[in-house]
Amino acid sequence: MNLPNRNTQVQLRRQRDGLPDAADFQMGDATIPDLAEGEILVRSIYLSLDPYIRKAVRGDHPGHVALKPGDVIYGRSVCRVVRSRHADYKQGDFLVAETGWQHYAAISPKKIVQRIDPALGPLSTAIGVLGMPGLTAWGSVAHLATPTVGDTYVVSAAAGPVGGTVGQLAKLAGARVIGIAGGKEKCEVVTRGYGFDVCIDYKKEGWEAALQAACPNGIDIYHDNVGTPLLSVLVKYFNLYAKVVMCGRPGDYHSGEFQGISLGPFIGKRAQMKGLVVYDYEKDMPRYLRVASTLVREGKLRFKEDHADGIENTPAHFLKLMRGENIGKCIVAVGPEKG
Amino acid sequence: MNLPNRNTQVQLRRQRDGLPDAADFQMGDATIPDLAEGEILVRSIYLSLDPYIRKAVRGDHPGHVALKPGDVIYGRSVCRVVRSRHADYKQGDFLVAETGWQHYAAISPKKIVQRIDPALGPLSTAIGVLGMPGLTAWGSVAHLATPTVGDTYVVSAAAGPVGGTVGQLAKLAGARVIGIAGGKEKCEVVTRGYGFDVCIDYKKEGWEAALQAACPNGIDIYHDNVGTPLLSVLVKYFNLYAKVVMCGRPGDYHSGEFQGISLGPFIGKRAQMKGLVVYDYEKDMPRYLRVASTLVREGKLRFKEDHADGIENTPAHFLKLMRGENIGKCIVAVGPEKG
C-alpha cells in the first residue's frame, strides 16, 4: 500500500433518520491540511467503524457537533504522526485519534484517544481488543459484573469485539459462558474462535429452548449489547439477584419504533442492573492493556477483525456493520503501517 | 367493640381484570370453624389492606391459589389466638397471619407471618411500620440503597407506609429526602408528619420544575414505588451512578395498557437498579424491629394509619386504596384488641 498523496474523505451527503444507506455518503477530495502551532498532522491507517457513527447521519450524537452535508464523517482511527508542532508528539508515533473518515487530519491533543505501544500487539488491535471495545469489556467484567467461578454468564452480540472479549474474560474468571449471535458463521467464531462454551443462534427456530438447555442452572450475569426484545426473554431464565450490565441498546428501536420494557419481572428476580459507559474506565486503561496484551500474546484472548481495503470502501463496509453482517471488529485499512 | 359471634366474611363475587369495584365483592356469613389437630383458631382485629390484594380479583397472584366466586378474599391481619391445638401457640397470643377478610380463621402455622410482641408498639403497627411495609423500607434503605450523609434521596408514594418509612430512615442516615405524593393533604403528612425536607405534589401543574428545584444537586437515590411514567421523568435529574430501588410498579399499567420504559437514559446515567422483594429480608426482621420500635417509641419514626371500622366496610376501604385516596396505611378494625 502506498502513502496517499491526496486527502480523500468520506463526507456526509444528507442528514436523516432511519438506517443509513449509500446515498447518505459522498467521497470528497481535499488538500493535506496545514498545521497550526500545537497541532499534529496524522495519517490514518485503520479506520474504526463503530455503531455510534450512525448518529453522524442522524445528527444527534451527544458530545459531537452535528454534521452538515459536506462535513467529514467522524470516527476514530489508528494513525501515525506525519508532522508535529506539539512537543509531546513526534513523527512516527502511533496514536488512536478522532481523525474522521479521511486520509489526513490536523488534530489537537484533545482529539487523541490513546498512544499506541506497537510492541503490545498488532496495530489494528488498538481499536479492538486492545482499545475501547476491549476496555468496554473490561469495565463490564472487572468493574460491574465481577463474575466468580461457576457463574452462568450470557453475552449478546457475542461475535463482536466487545461481546467476544467479555465472554473470554468471564471464562478466564471461571464462568460458564454462553454467547448469543446471529447466524452459523458468527456462532462458530464465538465457540471455535473465542472459546465460549456454547453459542446460541438467535436466528434459528427454537433458539429460546436451546438457550434454556444451555443454562441448566439459570443465568447469573447478562452482558446486554442489544436491548429490549432479547432482555425481555432472558429475564425468564435469570437466577435471583442476576446481574445485568446494560451496554448497548440498538434493539430498542425496531423499524424506528420504540420498544419499551417492563421492569416488573426484574423486580421478581431481584435483578441488579447497571449502566456501562466506557469513558468511565479510561483511567484503568493501563492496567487493562497490561493484562490483555499478555493474554493476547499467550493466545488466551483472541480477536476477530473484518477488514475492508481502501477509503472508498468505507461506506459499504459501514453499511455491512449496520446490517449486522460483519464478523468481528469492522476496520477499513486506508494506508500502510510503515512510512 | 364486642367480640363477633358469627364468622362474617368478605367474599369474591366475580373475577375480572381492571380496577376492582364494589360489585366484585359480597358479604358472607359462616360458622366459626372447627380446629384440626395442629391448627389454631384466630380472631381478626385489624385487616391489612394492601395493593397486591387486587390480584385476588384478577386471579393472577403468584403464590396464592386462584379464588373462585364465594371464596374469602385473602389478606393478612393482626389477630389473636382464641383456641389452639398447636403446642407453640396459646390462647391470647397476638399474631400477624394470613386470615383473609373474615372474623375467624382456623390456620396452620405456615399461615403465620410473625408473632407480635405487644410491648413493641401499638398492635396495628404490626401490619405497618413494625410489619412488612416497614421491613420493605428497611430492605430498601439498609440493604439496597445504603445512603450516606448528603445524598439526595427521592421517594415516590411517599405518604404510604413503605414510602414514609423509607424517607424517614434515609433522613436518619443523613440524606436530604424529597417525597412525591398526590394532593395537598398527602404532602402535608409527608413533610409535617414524617419530616421529609420537601414533598412534591405530582398532581400540581409545574411539579417537574418544583422537583428539579428541590434537587439542586441532582438525585442520588430513588425509591421507586410507582413505576414507569414517573421513573422516565426522574432519570433526567439522576446523578451519575444514581441508585434505583425498584419496589412497586402500579404505574406500568395505565387504563390496562402496558407502559414500557426505555433503558437508554439509564445507561447514560450509569444507573444502578435493584429489584426489591420484601420476603428476602424476613430473616432481618428481628434487627429491624429492635431498631424501628425504639425509633417509634422515641417519636423519631412516625406512621400514619387510615382506619375504617367494621368488616362490612372493608370493600369500600379497599376501593379507596385502589383510587389512591387513602392517607397512610389502610386498616380495617374488625374486632376488639382485648378478649
The 10s digit of each residue's pLDDT in A70-80 is: 999 999 999 99
* B246: closest CA of chain A, how far (Å): 6
Is the Cα torsion angle A211, A214, A219, A220 positive or negative in sign?
A: negative
- Chain A residue numbers touching B280 (CB-CB < 8 A): 270
Could you tell me whether strands A329-333 and B25-30 are parallel, antiparallel, or unpaired per DSSP bridges? Answer: unpaired
Asked if B201 and B183 count as a contact pair (C-beta separation under 8 A), the reply is: yes
> Does A272 contact B at CB distance below 8 Å?
yes
Q: Which residue of B has its CA nearest to A144?
A: B272
Work out the pLDDT band at A288, boundaries 50, 70, 90.
very high
* Kind plus residue range of the DSSP H or E element containing B100: none
* A117: closest CA of chain B, how far (Å): 30
Work out the pLDDT band at A190, boundaries 50, 70, 90.
very high
Q: How far apart are CA A139 and CA A154, in angstroms?
A: 16
- For the segment A282-294, the average pLDDT, to the nearest whole number, is 95
Q: How far apart are CA A210 and CA A140, in angstroms?
A: 25
CATH number attached to the domain at A7-128+305-333: 3.90.180.10
Query: Domain residues of chain A, as ranges?
Result: 7-128+305-333, 132-280
In the numeric block, which cell numbers belong to residue A171?
Answer: 471464562
Per-residue pLDDT tens over the stretch A135-154: 999 999 999 999 999 999 99
Per-residue pLDDT tens over the stretch B252-291: 655 566 678 889 899 999 999 999 999 999 999 999 999 9
- Chain B residue numbers touching A262 (CB-CB < 8 A): 249, 252, 258, 260-261
> Which residues touch A338 (CB under 8 Å, ≥6 apart)?
none
Query: Residues for chain A: how many in total?
Result: 339
- Model confidence at A253: pLDDT above 60: no
Q: Counting Cβ atoms within 10 Å, is residue A36 exposed (0-12), middle (13-18) or buried (19+)?
A: exposed
> Does B249 contact A at CB distance below 8 Å?
yes
pTM for this predicted structure: 0.88
- Model confidence at A94: pLDDT above 60: yes
* pLDDT score recorded for residue A58: 82
Cβ pair B266:A246 closer than 8 A: yes
- For the segment A6-26, the average pLDDT, to the nearest whole number, is 92
Q: How far apart are CA B189 and CA B181, in angstroms?
A: 10
Q: A120 — phi, psi (to 5°)?
A: -70, -30
- A102 or B263, which is more confident? A102
> Does B234 contact A at CB distance below 8 Å?
no
Per-residue pLDDT tens over the stretch B280-325: 999 999 999 999 999 999 999 999 999 999 999 999 999 999 998 9
Which range, of A12-16, A112-116, B129-133, averages the lowest pLDDT? A12-16
- Chain A residue numbers touching B235 (CB-CB < 8 A): none
CATH number attached to the domain at B7-128+304-333: 3.90.180.10
Per-residue pLDDT tens over the stretch B10-61: 999 998 887 899 999 999 999 999 999 999 999 999 999 998 898 888 877 6
* Per-window interface: B 279-338 vs A, CB < 8 A: 280
> Which residues touch A59 (CB under 8 Å, ≥6 apart)?
A15, A66, A67
Cβ pair B252:A263 closer than 8 A: yes
What's the fold here for domain A132-280? Rossmann fold (3.40.50)
Residue A180 CA: distances (Å) to CA of A215, A254, B204? 12, 19, 47
Choose the most confident range, by mean pLDDT, from A57-61, A217-221, A264-268. Answer: A217-221
3-state secondary structure of B333: strand
∠B199-B203-B208 over CA atoms, to 5°?
Answer: 65
> Does B264 contact A at CB distance below 8 Å?
yes
N- to C-terminal Cα distance for chain A?
10
N- to C-terminal Cα distance for chain B?
10
To the nearest whole number, what is the mean pLDDT of chain A? 93
Q: How far apart are CA B326 and CA B182, in angstroms?
A: 11
Strand partners, B262: none
From A62, A267, A280, residue closest to B246, measured CB to CB:
A267
Q: How far apart are CA A159 and CA A128, in angstroms?
A: 12
Report DSSP letters for A59-125, one per residue. T--TTSPPP-TTSBPP-EEEEEEEEESSTT--TT-EEEEE--SBSEEEE-GGGEEEE--TTSS-GGG
Per-residue pLDDT tens over the stretch B146-193: 999 999 999 999 999 999 999 999 999 999 999 999 999 999 999 999
- For the segment B85-107, the average pLDDT, to the nearest whole number, is 97
> Does B236 contact A at CB distance below 8 Å?
no
* pLDDT score recorded for residue B66: 80
From B228, B266, B275, residue closest to A267, measured CB to CB:
B275
pLDDT above 70 covers what percent of chain B? Answer: 96
Q: Which residue of B has its CA nearest to A140?
A: B270
Question: Is there a shared CATH topology between the A7-128+305-333 domain and the A132-280 domain?
Answer: no
